[in-house]
Each structure stands twice: as structure tokens, then as C-alpha cells.
């Protein structure tokens, strides 16, 4: 059955049953001997739930994938199993090159199979995009050409190396089968080793493994045959491919279509998972909220047109069940990969199937935890779902009612306060929430107002506001809480989530009338047609850059001053498109400079390393992207009165939205 086999119906309204709303998404699929109950795939990705010494998967990985199986995903794909020590990178990579890893893989398989969900394993080698540090080995590649991301000259593989690699894939496939995986996926994508052989961007060989497309396909075909032979005819084996690398001389859709045609004519391929990019175009690999929904689905559609009936998986910012159903109905793909949406809400499939669409916690495509963590070598996390990585402790069905229900007052309706209120209400406490403004959301609303695409960021608090209403929290907006009002209410516990105030540096001129905060620049009177200096304190995060982007969009001449690299704290997938937009809009950038003084018309800055001063002249407005100051006066007053007080979010310590939501969850659980 393909995406065109079901009669057209609407993609569904909230509350509709799966039969009416999602007939294609919940249609079963049979792949050789494997029954896939629906068309939702939790595709392979790096989680970093790895033992750093053995490079084996930990129990947290088993719990993490099992949670998505429990939530209704039709197929789980375990991320890259590295087939050879030369194919590793930093931060923990799950090894598949010797038998020591089999037990940890088997634990993952058993955890997923407990929910009658099939699970496949990816086989991969990172090639020249890896790192030699973990294994103290050279990087392997088709040619001795340094990759723009790793910036390391790799070893150009010899024929002996190629033979060793093929056997490494063969033996790794046998290990995956012995661990119990139902199928395998061979990684031809994202600039990794097999992709680098396919692409003229990285393959400059002149022997039988380079030059013509047939030659460049030789090693990937040898590997695929070896894997298929190792596991036998009953086991599905698919391919993940980049259908466009977005680099000069890289793979594009036309060549990818020809690769697929030749591949399917040469070997049995059970599916084609169509992705895009390599590490030199990493900003398009996992598109953030600045991209439209499903921005690269044309690649899946193009591959499917020439796939001769081989099922095609679509991936990349398909953010909802409704969008997945739409793409299946249009014939863009046969199966839909939902990764970040299932990180945000593992129960998305089951909620959609049972008509509870409004209860689905939305993915906002922020990349803050899901990509920001692993790309720094840290375990995966999620801004909207603090349970990620803690499924064993707090996963589906494990946040039960308290034995000691109390009256909890939450002061502040930002992300920390809303999450604390939601979690406490789920635990059976009677919850009242005070918010001084007329609208819930706190500083998330300011961040979301910076640019039109940032509105998606507010989905984090919009969802929580809907949940506290659904859970019966007594929400009182327009109420300023003070000690007297709290004494009148007499709650058992007060959770103070009063946020933070914009800080200012202790430099001359910082309090002059033309000096404003980022918050003022975003939601205050519009600044148009001026010369504006945005001063980053060194947080190097979204605050300074999205403020600059907004000011540029309003026709201002903007200079950004930062003591570090602009956007240094933003994940490697989201920073490049943001910087490309800023520099394309004419941003003047002064990196490695700190603020010294502000005058009526000038801004004095100093070079971070040398101390040499520079004057930015004729500045009309100075915008401070400065560290916040905890608004904790109420907390201190309540503590001195003997109240049971818990402080969360920026009122505890000014940080990011992900930290605020984690705080709210942590305190809500502890109550």
C-alpha cells in the first residue's frame, strides 16, 4: 500500500477519530515479514545516551526509545551504530564494530519489543565528518580533502581499507541481527562516509571508486550487498540518503534520483528514507522554526516519483499528525518520520489516533535541547518536555497522584510558573495561579514577538496555558500578588515564579534616556530608521541576535557588539541560517569587543584581547542585551514570614526558557 491507496479525506479536526482524521497515517504497512502498525516512524538520531568508556548504549536509551513505542509510533529506528573505530566523533557514539556492544543493543530491542513495536538499526561510518579523538585514529574518506566542518585532513582509503570497511558493515549487520533488530538501515546521507563516496563534493578519486556515478556508487553498493547477504532475505534493509547536499558539486535531486534508480535496479531495497544536507550545510539538516513547515518534502516527492514502488520516508520539520496525513494524501511519501515531535510528546501517535489532538504537546522546532545538547556532546533533552532522558522515573503514566494533596499558589504565569502549576495539578494538588499581566506566557511572549517566525516559540506556553485550564487550575490574571493577598488566600505552598528584570551594566551612560533593553526594543515603541547599537553582555544567545534581526527588519542601521562570537551559545543547526539572515540584512558585527561607555551620540567599546578602544559614532539608540536580574523580592518577603516557599525560573536565577520549564517540573514533582 502506498500513500495514494486511500480515498482523499480531510486531514482532520481536533477531536475526530483516527478513522475520519488520519486514515493514511494509521494504515498498517508490511515490509517483508515485519508488520508496521502505522506510518509514523521515530527515525534514527543521536541521543548521546552512551557509556563514554565502552561506547555502548545505556539503559536510558532503552527507556527513551521504549517511551516512543509505548506512545504509539509504528516503527523505531535506533540511531547510527558505528561499524569501524575510524568512524567516530565526540560526545559518545554507539559502537557496532565488536561484540561488546551487542548486549546493550539487545536491551534496547527488548524494551521496544515489549510494546509490540518493530525496531530497525542504522549502520554508519561518519567518515571525514567525525573526530579522531575518541578512538585516537585517523578519519577515513574517499579522498584526502579536509571537510569544512571537521577541518581535518582525512586518510584517503586504500583498496585494502575499502575491503576492511565492507567486512565491517557485514559483521556489524550480523551483530544487529543477533541483538534482535527487525531490520536495518544503511546510512548514505549527511556527508558520512558512504555519502562522501557518492558525492563529487568529497570524492576526487581517479580509480574505480571515483569519477563516474557508477564508480562513485561502487562502495555503497558493495556495502549494501554485504549487509543484505549477512541478514538474509527475510530482513528488511533500507537506505537513508541525502537527496540534496546544498553544496557546490554535491548531490542534488537529479543525481539522487539517478542513484536511486541504479540502486534499486542493482539490489533489493526495502525503503528509501529521504533527508538532505551534509555538515557543510548543516543548517538545513534539522531545520528550525525559521523554516516553513516540511521545507524539503519536495525531495521525498522527487525520489518517490522514480522509486518504482519502493516506499519512501519523508523527514524534516513535519511537526504534526495533520501535516503527516496531508503529505500521505498528496502522495509526497509513503511513511512519515516524526522525530522532534515525538521527542516533545511521545504520545503524539496515540493522542492523534484516539482523537485527543488538542492534548498533543507541540514541538516548536527550537533545537535548543534536542540538537543543542547532542551537538555539544551532551545527552538529548527538550525545551517543552523535561522528561526526556528520565522516562524511567517520570515517563508515561508515572506522574501519579500525591498522597498529600495541598493548596498550591503559583505566583507568575511564565514558563516556570505554568509548568509548576500544570505538574502540581496533575499530581492532584489544588492549584491557584496569579499573573500580574492580562496574558499568560511571561517573557516567552516577548521572545516570540521579535520576528514573525518566532511566534512558534510561544507554542511552549500556549500549550501549558491550555493544560492548566483543562486541569482545573484557578487562573487569575491581572492580579499583583503581595504578602497581604497571599496571607488572605493562605495556601500551603507558594511557588514564586516572578521572573527577572532587565539588567544594565555598570558603565558610564548606561542609564541615559536613549539606552533601552531588548524587551523595550521588541514590545515598546517601534524603532525605525535609526543608527542602533545592540550590546550583548556575553550570553551570545537568541536575545541579542533576534533583537538585532527585528531592528534590521524595521529599517535600522544596526551594529552588534559582543565580547565573544555572536550566537556562540546557539546550536550548530540554528546559528548558520540566523547569521546568514543577519549578515544578508546588513548587520555590522563587532565580535570580541566589550562595552566601555555610552555618551549622547557615541558608544565606546574595547577589544576583548588587547583592550584597544574604538568609538562607534552617531548612535541614536543603544539596546542592551544584558544579563537579567532575579525579581525575587516577594520570595524573600514570604520566606521571612515563615511561608513554605519554592522559587523557580528566572526568579531563582535568570536563565533560558528550557531551564525555567525544567525548574517548574522539578518543583511540581517535589510538591
Could you give the 3-state DSSP secondary structure of residue 219?
Answer: helix
From CA 60, how far away is CA 69, in angstroms rounded? 14
In 32-145, DSSP assigns E strands to 34-36, 40-42, 75-82, 119-124, 140-141
The C-alpha angle 440, 445, 451, rounded to 5 degrees, equals 155
From CA 42, how far away is CA 75, in angstroms rounded? 6
Contact 664, 425 (CB under 8 A): no
- Indicate if 192 belongs to the active site: yes
From CA 73, how far away is CA 324, in angstroms rounded? 13
φ, ψ for residue 15 (rounded to 5)?
A: 95, -15
Catalytic residue among 64, 187, 192, 279: 192
Query: What is the crossing angle of helices 542-553 and 575-584, to 10°?
Result: 30
Which residue in the block uniquely carries the three cell numbers 511572549?
A: 445
Contact 406, 492 (CB under 8 A): yes
Query: What is the crossing angle of helices 253-266 and 218-231, to 10°?
Result: 40
Query: Residue 466: how many CB atoms within 10 A of its CB?
Result: 15
Contact 440, 418 (CB under 8 A): yes
**Exposure string for 215-236, b = 16+ CB within 10 A, e = fewer:** bbbbbbebbbbbbbebbeeebb
Kind of pairing between the strands at 474-477 and 140-141: unpaired
Could you give the 3-state DSSP secondary structure of residue 644?
Answer: coil
From CA 429, how far away is CA 408, in angstroms rounded? 7
Query: What is the crossing angle of helices 102-113 and 159-179, to 10°?
Result: 40
Instruction: Please choose, from the candidates 495, 384, 374, 520, the residue with its C-alpha nearest in 3D space to the C-alpha of residue 434.
Output: 495
**The three three-digit cell numbers of residue 10, written as one number:** 480531510
Helix (H) or strand (E) holding 145: none
- Give catalytic residues, as residue numbers: 192
Amino acid at each position: 500500500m502506498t500513500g495514494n491507496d486511500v480515498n482523499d479525506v480531510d486531514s482532520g479536526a481536533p477531536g475526530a477519530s483516527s478513522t475520519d482524521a488520519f486514515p493514511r497515517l494509521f494504515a498498517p504497512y508490511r515490509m517483508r515479514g515485519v508488520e508496521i502498525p502505522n506510518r509514523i516512524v521515530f527515525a534514527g538520531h543521536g541521543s548521546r545516551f552512551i557509556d563514554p568508556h565502552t561506547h555502548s548504549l545505556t539503559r536510558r536509551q532503552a527507556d527513551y526509545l521504549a517511551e516512543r513505542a509505548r506512545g504509539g509510533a509504528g516503527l523505531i529506528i535506533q540511531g547510527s551504530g558505528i561499524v569501524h573505530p575510524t568512524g567516530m566523533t565526540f560526545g559518545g557514539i554507539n559502537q557496532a564494530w565488536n561484540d561488546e556492544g551487542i548486549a546493550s543493543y539487545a536491551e534496547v530491542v527488548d524494551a521496544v519489543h515489549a510494546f509490540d513495536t518493530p525496531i530497525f538499526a542504522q549502520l554508519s561510518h561518519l567518515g571525514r565528518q567525525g573526530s579522531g579523538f575518541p578512538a585516537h585514529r585517523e578519519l577515513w574518506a574517499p579522498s584526502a580533502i579536509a571537510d569544512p566542518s571537521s577541518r581535518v585532513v582525512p586518510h584517503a582509503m586504500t583498496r585494502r581499507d575499502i575491503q576492511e570497511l565492507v567486512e565491517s558493515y557485514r559483521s556489524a549487520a550480523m551483530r544487529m541481527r543477533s541483538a534482535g533488530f527487525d531490520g536495518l538501515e544503511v546510512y548514505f546521507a549527511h556527508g558520512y562516509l558512504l555519502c562522501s563516496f557518492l558525492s563529487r563534493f568529497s570524492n576526487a578519486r581517479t580509480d574505480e571508486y571515483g569519477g563516474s556515478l557508477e564508480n562513485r556508487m561502487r562502495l555503497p553498493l558493495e556495502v549494501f550487498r554485504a549487509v543484505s547477504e549477512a541478514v538474509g532475505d527475510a530482513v528488511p534493509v533500507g537506505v537513508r540518503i541525502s537527496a540534496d547536499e546544498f553544496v557546490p558539486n554535491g548531490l542534488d535531486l537529479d543525481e539522487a534520483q539517478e542513484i536511486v534508480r541504479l540502486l534499486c535496479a542493482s539490489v533489493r531495497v526495502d525503503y528509501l528514507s529521504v533527508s538532505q544536507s551534509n555538515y557543510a550545510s548543516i543548517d538545513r539538516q534539522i531545520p528550525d522554526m525559521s523554516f516553513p513547515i516540511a521545507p524539503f518534502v519536495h525531495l521525498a516527492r522527487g525520489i518517490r516519483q522514480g522509486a518504482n514502488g519502493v516506499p519512501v520516508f519523508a523527514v524534516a520539520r513535519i511537526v504534526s499528525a495533520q501535516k503527516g496525513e496531508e503529505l500521505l494524501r498528496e502522495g509526497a511519501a509513503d511513511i512519515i518520520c516524526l522525530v522532534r515531535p515525538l521527542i516533545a510528546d511521545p504520545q503524539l501517535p496515540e493522542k492523534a489516533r484516539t482523537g485527543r489532538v488538542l492534548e498533543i504537546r507541540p514541538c516548536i522546532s527550537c533545537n535548543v535541547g534536542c540538537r543543542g545538547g547532542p551537538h555539544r556532546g551532551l545527552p538529548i533533552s527538550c525545551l517543552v518536555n523535561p522528561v526526556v532522558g528520565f522516562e524511567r522515573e517520570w515517563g508515561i503514566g508515572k506522574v501519579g497522584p500525591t498522597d498529600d494533596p495541598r493548596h498550591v499558589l503559583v505566583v507568575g504565569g511564565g514558563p516556570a510558573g505554568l509548568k509548576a502549576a500544570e505538574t502540581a495539578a496533575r499530581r492532584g494538588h489544588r492549584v491557584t495561579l496569579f499573573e500580574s499581566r492580562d496574558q499568560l506566557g511571561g517573557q516567552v511572549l516577548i521572545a516570540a514577538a521579535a520576528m514573525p517566525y518566532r511566534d512558534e516559540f510561544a507554542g511552549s506556553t500556549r500549550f501549558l496555558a491550555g493544560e492548566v485550564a483543562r486541569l482545573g487550575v484557578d487562573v487569575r490574571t491581572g492580579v499583583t500578588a503581595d504578602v497581604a493577598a497571599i496571607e488572605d488566600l493562605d495556601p500551603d505552598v507558594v511557588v514564586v515564579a516572578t521572573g527577572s528584570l532587565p539588567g544594565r551594566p555598570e558603565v558610564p551612560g548606561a542609564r541615559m534616556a536613549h539606552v533601552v533593553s531588548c524587551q523595550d526594543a521588541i514590545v515598546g515603541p517601534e524603532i525605525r530608521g535609526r543608527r542602533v547599537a545592540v550590546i550583548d553582555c556575553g550570553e551570545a544567545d537568541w536575545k541579542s541576535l533576534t533583537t538585532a534581526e527585528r531592528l534590521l527588519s524595521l529599517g535600522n542601521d544596526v551594529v552588534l557588539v559582543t565580547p565573544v562570537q555572536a550566537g556562540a551559545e546557539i546550536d550548530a543547526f540554528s546559528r548558520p541560517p540566523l547569521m546568514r539572515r543577519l549578515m544578508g540584512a546588513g548587520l555590522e558585527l563587532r565580535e570580541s569587543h566589550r562595552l566601555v561607555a555610552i555618551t549622547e551620540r557615541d558608544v565606546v567599546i574595547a577589544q576583548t584581547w588587547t583592550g584597544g578602544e574604538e568609538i562607534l559614532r552617531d548612535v541614536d539608540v543603544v539596546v542592551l542585551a544584558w544579563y537579567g536580574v532575579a525579581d525575587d523580592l516577594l520570595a524573600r518577603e514570604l520566606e521571612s514570614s515563615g511561608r513554605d516557599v519554592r522559587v523557580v525560573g528566572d526568579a531563582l536565577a535568570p536563565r533560558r526558557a528550557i531551564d525555567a520549564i525544567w525548574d517548574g517540573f522539578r518543583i511540581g514533582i517535589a510538591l
